[in-house]
Structure 1
Amino acid sequence: MPRSALPSPRRGLLMAAPIAVLLGITGGTLALTAGSSDASDVPSRGVPEARATKPVRTPQESVLQIMAHPDDDLFFMNPDTSQSIAAGHSLTSVYLTAGESDGRNARYQDPRPPADKAAYAEARQNGIRAAYAEMATGNRTSPWDRTSVATAGGGRAELDTLRAKPQISLVWLQLREAGSVSDDRPHSLHGLWDGRIDALGSQLAAGSPVREDFSYTKRQTIDTLSAVLHRFKPTFVRLMDPTPGRNDRTGKLSDHQDHMYGARFAQAALAAYAETPARPAFAVQNYLGYSTGGMPHSLDPESTEAKLRTLKTYAWMDHSDYCEDPAGCGDRKVAARPAGRDWAQSIRYTRSDSTTWVQQGARPGELYAFAVLDGRLATWHRSPTGWTGPVLHQGTGLDGGVTSVRLPDGRIAVFGTRTDLGDTPESYRRDVVMTLSENGAFGPWRSLGTPERDDAAGTSDISVPAVLVDRSGLMTVYVRDAGHTMRVTSQRPGGDWSPWRSAGGRDLRGNPVAAMDAAGRGYVFAATPKTVLAWTGRAPGTPAATGLPPTTGSLSATPDGADGVRLWFRKPASGAVRTARFADGGAHASPVAELPGGVAGYGAVGAWGDRLALRGRGGALAAAPHAGTDRWTVDGSLFAGAPAAVPSGFATLGLDGRLRWTPWDR
């Protein structure tokens, strides 16, 4: 096996040796012990699939974020980060690199200050500590305890704990960064992942309690991250997008190479962690990076201003010496442009905005819900006696976010995408997969392949599938490809699937959505930065213009009356909910209606008829008994992705991995 190779997930990925578990802090180190189980895998009662299992346990919510650089969380994961802090549960942010850049804590300054990478890394740490302290306590100088801890990779890391809120932790692994968005830099996470270097060295911050340099091999980096996961036992993990795609014009990566390969190292660590016992089940959510700046703003002005306040604290805008550190109190490179390149005005999930993950069963009142936990399909079942589950089914490597459809004969098909980390870096790939229920049991995953040539061409950047079902039960699957066009595959009467073919479109963003009207006509919608395109008719082919204004890119579609469907979306730079109707198989939208009530927020809208459930301002769940009301019920609980609505109510997946069900008539 090449030195860069990793075992395939299908052959017990990364489990060649026991993974050390970080259990606690003892004498300045994180104690390493072998994992042991407090519950064996027991087949779930009433589950037809013999190898399906229940998660070990579902404790209190615990969120862990893995980023390449200090500030990735503030630009791309906030306001979700601040919401988790406000919720008061455990939050851990892990930074893979020191973020040392060129070592100059200034931008557009003449004369340029001398380079000092250790000092600049320390200044960025100071900025992050100030930003988190301010979000948590209102005081940017609230003190932290900084500790040097041993890692499973044989080096040491810095662990910071906010003294006033000890559930908030920062972990600094302090590896070298690439120092370039896309230029060839072998001494980087990219080079380490590809096997171009044997090990990546450290870049220690000037004030770090870690004093001795170290280096990690690829294996040691993954082991280190796996051990961090064991220490903090998250129920919800936030990552940047490991497949950000390429710029259509230049062919270069659409995001920073450290973001992309940092997320891939996190994927590998999560795959190893998922194979170990005695831990809670976890869900994963990915975030769009640099390219979110080229799309309409998704946040309302109030949320943008709050996000900017945090970024300005990180950027050390006032230049006062409140941290009393000669390295500086924040990142002055960001001070020149605290909103980045229109990044502060938005937040976008790359694969988990589906609103079609709950389906009605064959019997009255019966429901099924689907999500991804531990990289496996999780199902819940509702009968007259209530909800049971989750049950975890066979097949690992699933990406967060699935869609589902109900066939005319009552069976349910679930679709998603699956990542195979591969035996070599070149064999990393993502494919479209489906599973179909038979008598209530879900069979093995079937791969429908991928419209992509290989990972190098477009970084495997394909969307979550959108699916149409005709009256005979045959399915058609639509996927946005890495070239930002639509690709389609259709099921044939014998059960096999056609090769992927082009369905046109240009500059498509996010995930397409689909719905059928009562007459059996299909509608597929996909957003561009300027409008929404539609594929309509009994056998949708090439797209047509809808005439809709720009949206934030998060769409949902539902049947509407006897002859049409309704599209739900958000107004840019507002978060207000908007809707338009399409009828008689046509692609031209009715006049856009904006809902009253001033409910700002972001993400896709869960709808059934005119009943709505969505993410409101500040991440809170908001629901309305009908679209015309200005009276919304707000629930402060945080959730993953988007709500899914059916006639009797709606479901959300909490950050603790629990399904939450709310009847409309409660």
Structure 2
Amino acid sequence: MNSRWTPRGTGTTRRQTLTALAALSAAGTAGIAGIAGIAGCSAGRPGTAASVPTGPAQASAPGAAEPFTSAVGDKDALLLQVMAHPDDDLYFMNPDAEQVLRSGVPVVCVYVTAGEARGINHQAGTPIPPADKAAYSASRHQGLRQAYAQMLGLNQFAPWERSVLRLPGGVTAETDTLANGGRGVRLIFLNIAMLSDGGVRLPALWNAPGAVTHTLPATGSPVAHPSSYGHQTLVDVLAEIMDRYRPTLIHTLDPDPDFQVHDALHPRDNDQPGCSDHRDHTPVALFTWKAIAQWVAASTQRDQHAPRFTATAFRGYYNQRWPHNLPPALLAQKARAIKSYGGAPDWDCGNAAGCGDYSQGGVRPLRNRKGWIRSTHYRYPTALPTPTVDAQGRLVAYGVLGTQAVRWRETAPGSGRFGAPLGLGGGPLA
């Protein structure tokens, strides 16, 4: 392909060319970290039967990924984000997601759990309401609709089209869509209960063979009946969503969170035992990467080439312990979306179950000592294509596209133009 960063007839410095190569892919060769589980964290442990990828997720032969025609292939760009809870994207993947949306790229967001917690939607300084898990889930959904409407440049109470999405295993999910001009957002709520019958949580669904969990339909949802999920059901559902919407960029939570000693200096807060992240974040990330591997293997076999996408994992609660990295303008942009998500009990949003996640409304996230809002960190920040020079003096870069190792080569020394990436096989890589 011709380099999209080099106008015809202009000279190109080596530094500019290396910058262009870095932009070719946001993913590197770190490997699908943690797909076999994480020792010491509650989400996964090596050696458990459910932790090991099974089925069609296999490495492909060299050349199986050919021909790639561009960094995004021959279709429109699309961002797919997979989160554990409503608001994970707003806290941990923004402002990246909003910047992608503003550029005109459609966004599909998948929320795996209902986010119901204890079912109490409480604004500080007001009486504590009675618990209602289905209503709290619905109110958080409304908060997301408010946030994404605001990101689209619409009134935050703009009406969405809400319908039922039918998925593998007989499960159903709510899907909400909204568009403004050429930009659009789709929200998909799988709504698996954070605490299901028999005390089953997402870590058990990842780790424990035979574990089954159930969904919690939100109040007012078009989904009328609960669905059941086993380990493979969730993998199949996520892989089907990937195949249906064909993302060119995938955002995931952290599949390999940092180990963390919890003591008086570093309180556990909302962390899982032994690691600095929520106990639901890690298994959702692991399920997502396992689904990516399954989708790529099936798609490559069917289409004779791997799907064309890159993937980026984002740190979660460890933002609390890393230096804040957002400048004031981006922090304000991120805070606006979270303020719309948080809402308030007196907002007239048209949703009887509630108008947001009230504990996250107003300026409370900016005042929270944990500071999650003040940072956005990639799990693998240096995972970019690695350049070198061949015997003819042409720049050659190696990276990852569609979970496959690929190679880009300059068409001529110093030209700044690159041919189509060559699939080298291997994988799945991240």
Normalization by structure 2: what TM-score? 0.77
Q: State whether residues 7 and 14 of structure 1, in contact with CA within 8 Å, keep that contact through their aligned partners in structure 2.
A: no
What is the aligned partner in structure 1 of residue 427 from structure 2?
396
> How big is the shift at 1:52?
6.3
Equivalent position to 1:331, from 349, 352, 357: 357
Q: Does 1:315 align with 2:315?
A: no
Q: State whether residues 315 and 333 of structure 1, in contact with CA within 8 Å, keep that contact through their aligned partners in structure 2.
A: yes
Equivalent position to 1:265, from 287, 293, 303: 287
> How big is the shift at 1:111?
4.3
What is the aligned partner in structure 2 of residue 383 from structure 1?
411
Equivalent position to 2:132, from 116, 120, 135: 116
What is the aligned partner in structure 1 of residue 39 from structure 2?
none
Deviations 1:260-302 (A, max 9, x none): 1101110111011101134741111000111112222111111
Deviations 1:238-260 (A, max 9, x none): 00111112213456220001111
Question: Structure 2: which amino acid aligns with 1:104?
Answer: I
SS at match of 2:112: strand
> How big is the shift at 1:217?
0.8
Aligned length: 359
> How big is the shift at 1:205?
0.7
What is the aligned partner in structure 2 of residue 227 from structure 1?
240
Q: State whether residues 98 and 176 of structure 1, in contact with CA within 8 Å, keep that contact through their aligned partners in structure 2.
A: yes
Written as runs of structure 1 = structure 2, the 5 A alignment for 1:82-231 is 82-106=98-122, 108=124, 111-164=127-180, 167-178=184-195, 187-195=200-208, 198-231=211-244
Q: Distance in 1 between matches of 2:107 and 2:155?
A: 18
Q: Distance in 2 between matches of 1:178 and 1:357?
A: 44
What is the aligned partner in structure 1 of residue 7 from structure 2?
none
Question: Structure 1: which amino acid aligns with 2:353?
Answer: A
What is the aligned partner in structure 1 of residue 43 from structure 2?
none
Deviations 1:564-619 (A, max 9, x none): xxxxxxxxxxxxxxxxxxxxxxxxxxxxxxxxxxxxxxxxxxxxxxxxxxxxxxxx
Question: Structure 1: which amino acid aligns with 2:118?
Answer: D
SS at match of 2:236: helix
Q: Distance in 2 between matches of 1:157 and 1:123?
A: 17
> How big is the shift at 1:363?
2.2
Q: Aligned pair in 2 of structure 1 residues 109, 50: CA closer, same or farther (>3 Å)? A: closer
SS at match of 2:168: coil
SS at match of 1:265: helix
> How big is the shift at 1:231?
1.2
What is the aligned partner in structure 2 of residue 346 from structure 1?
375
What is the aligned partner in structure 1 of residue 31 from structure 2?
none
What is the aligned partner in structure 1 of residue 398 from structure 2?
370
> How big is the shift at 1:178?
4.9
Q: Aligned pair in 2 of structure 1 residues 178, 196: CA closer, same or farther (>3 Å)? A: farther
Q: Distance in 2 between matches of 1:305 and 1:84?
A: 17
SS at match of 1:383: coil
Q: Distance in 2 between matches of 1:245 and 1:178?
A: 25
Q: Aligned pair in 2 of structure 1 residues 141, 50: CA closer, same or farther (>3 Å)? A: closer
Q: Aligned pair in 2 of structure 1 residues 305, 205: CA closer, same or farther (>3 Å)? A: same
Question: Structure 1: which amino acid aligns with 2:419?
Answer: T
Gaps of 5+ in 1: 16-40, 44-48, 180-184, 400-666
Q: State whether residues 58 and 427 of structure 2, in contact with CA within 8 Å, keep that contact through their aligned partners in structure 1.
A: no
Written as runs of structure 1 = structure 2, the 5 A alignment for 1:208-607 is 208-249=221-262, 252-275=274-297, 276=299, 277-278=302-303, 280-317=307-344, 319-335=345-361, 337-339=364-366, 340=368, 341-354=370-383, 357-364=386-393, 366-384=394-412, 386-399=417-430
> How big is the shift at 1:186?
5.1
Q: State whether residues 63 and 422 of structure 2, in contact with CA within 8 Å, keep that contact through their aligned partners in structure 1.
A: no
Q: Aligned pair in 2 of structure 1 residues 271, 52: CA closer, same or farther (>3 Å)? A: closer
Q: Distance in 1 between matches of 2:48 and 2:246?
A: 30
Q: Distance in 2 between matches of 1:66 and 1:261?
A: 11
Q: State whether residues 178 and 258 of structure 1, in contact with CA within 8 Å, keep that contact through their aligned partners in structure 2.
A: no
What is the aligned partner in structure 1 of residue 14 from structure 2?
none
- Higher CA-based Rg: 1
> How big is the shift at 1:112?
2.3
> How big is the shift at 1:54?
3.0
Gaps of 5+ in 2: 1-46, 264-272
Normalization by structure 1: what TM-score? 0.51
Q: State whether residues 109 and 187 of structure 2, in contact with CA within 8 Å, keep that contact through their aligned partners in structure 1.
A: yes
Structure number with higher relative contact order (C-alpha < 8 Å, ≥ 6 residues apart): 2
Deviations 1:8-63 (A, max 9, x none): 46x73389xxxxxxxxxxxxxxxxxxxxxxxxx9x9xxxxx666633484322111
SS at match of 1:314: helix
What is the aligned partner in structure 1 of residue 84 from structure 2?
68
> How big is the shift at 1:335?
2.8
Q: Distance in 2 between matches of 1:122 and 1:152?
A: 24
Q: Distance in 1 between matches of 2:378 and 2:295?
A: 23
Determine which structure has the larger helix proportion and give its number: 2
Q: State whether residues 142 and 163 of structure 1, in contact with CA within 8 Å, keep that contact through their aligned partners in structure 2.
A: no
Q: Aligned pair in 2 of structure 1 residues 212, 82: CA closer, same or farther (>3 Å)? A: same
> How big is the shift at 1:204?
1.1
> How big is the shift at 1:323?
1.2
SS at match of 1:64: strand
Determine which structure has the larger strand proportion and give its number: 1
Q: Distance in 2 between matches of 1:150 and 1:138?
A: 29
Q: Distance in 2 between matches of 1:324 and 1:348?
A: 35
> How big is the shift at 1:76?
0.6
SS at match of 1:172: strand
Q: Distance in 2 between matches of 1:77 and 1:71?
A: 10
Q: Distance in 1 between matches of 2:188 and 2:177?
A: 9
Question: Structure 2: which amino acid aligns with 1:247?
Answer: Q
Question: Structure 2: which amino acid aligns with 1:231?
Answer: R
> How big is the shift at 1:387?
1.6
